[in-house]
Amino acid sequence: MKIISIVGARPNFMKVAPLHRAFKQNNSIQSKIIHTGQHFDRAMSTIFFEELELPEPDYFLGVGSGTHSIITAKIMTAIEPILQSELPDLVIVVGDVTSTLACALVANRNGIPVAHVEAGLRSFDRSMPEEINRLLTDQISDLLFTTERLATDHLMKENISPDKIHFVGNCMIDSLHYYQKKTSDQSILKQFNLLPASYVIMTMHRPSNVDTLEGLQKLIRLLSVICTMRTVLLPLHPRTKDRLNHFGLLNTLTQIPNLIITEPLGYIEFITLIRYSQLILTDSGGVQEETTYLGVPCLTFRKSTERPITVDVGTNILLDDLNPEVAIHHVREILDGHIKQGQIPELWDGQAAFRIRDILLNQFG
């Protein structure tokens, strides 16, 4: 059985790594990886292959940056001849990035079965490109693997046959589980002169928060106050850095006392820093799940989340938008010890990739 897994952007690598590892343990599966190059620099891509022990991708498309339409078109035209030559038994797409939908479309149109890992997640905000990617990918997939039971409910309401849907758990949590020993090493904290449970981490990159002057001014105001209470570590996403430069605010940000600004961090470094932090502020989907698994308080600056289990069961608190006054209130509460107690969701046990492998072997023989 030949399986081709697609990676394209930073969130994909942590989900494909445990799948590839599980596939390689079975001699009846030939596992190949195509990297579209949607994220293509070392900080956003290469280091993840190294840290997650992934082999060099069998194909690298190198599509680079551009608008959603340009990237989609580049990926589709580049991957089609590869799939026609390889003729895999299955194409696996993960998550909700542009590469996910583009590769699912090409596989579907060439009669190749598609499996969507992390299916059924919904924010119900169609202004988010990721929501459109999720909806369309699920509609054309032959197998849909969900991370939580509510995602299964969403798919059923969208008239997807229950025979296609499998609740298996969370592959990204598989990576967290697998690298627990490595992320217990506190040496990265010494690099930034940090002590466990004494600092805050922030990650921000979504257009709704960083694409406008008003949003960036709110971000800077929020950081200015929090940095009077704790040291804040800010791995600066390329998009956020570009927007700060555009509005002439990068220097203002760098002048905030007690703020540590870094380039995007590698997976092991970042997870270690989350594990020992006191609080995370983010607009990332994946970070909501990682903090829930690690039991770290998380404030998410979005009007909705496609991962409601992190709010209902986990440590995540959803804030409507980047309102500094509201956010500061919540930050003070958490730093004073009033912490939301969370639990690890069902089947987030490090075995999702093996469940997927076994289902595929049963389906394809």
Nearest to 38 by CA among 75, 13, 3: 75
Quote the pLDDT of residue 45. 58
pLDDT tens figures, 230-248: 999 999 998 999 999 999 9
| pLDDT higher than 60, residue 44 | no
Average pLDDT, the chain: 94
Amino acid residing at 40: F
In order of their start, the domains of the chain are 2-170+348-364 (3.40.50.2000), 182-335 (3.40.50.2000)
The mean pLDDT of 115-131, rounded to a whole number, is 95
* Paired sense of beta strands 30-35 and 59-60, if any: parallel
Quote the pLDDT of residue 39. 67
Report the Cα 136 to chain-centroid distance in Å.
Answer: 19
Quote the pLDDT of residue 321. 78
d(CA 140, CA 143) in angstroms, rounded, equals 9
Percent of the chain scoring above 70 in pLDDT = 98
Structure tokens at 330: 């919540």
pLDDT tens figures, 278-333: 999 999 999 999 999 999 999 999 999 999 999 999 999 999 878 999 999 999 99
Quote the pLDDT of residue 47. 75
- Tally the C-alpha atoms within 13 A of residue 247's C-alpha that lie toward its C-beta: 17
* Residue tagged active-site, from 39, 116, 154, 205: 205
| pLDDT higher than 60, residue 336 | yes
Whether 329 is catalytic is no
pLDDT tens figures, 148-184: 999 999 999 999 999 999 999 999 999 999 999 999 9
Quote the pLDDT of residue 40. 60
Percent of the chain scoring above 90 in pLDDT = 87
Quote the pLDDT of residue 41. 60
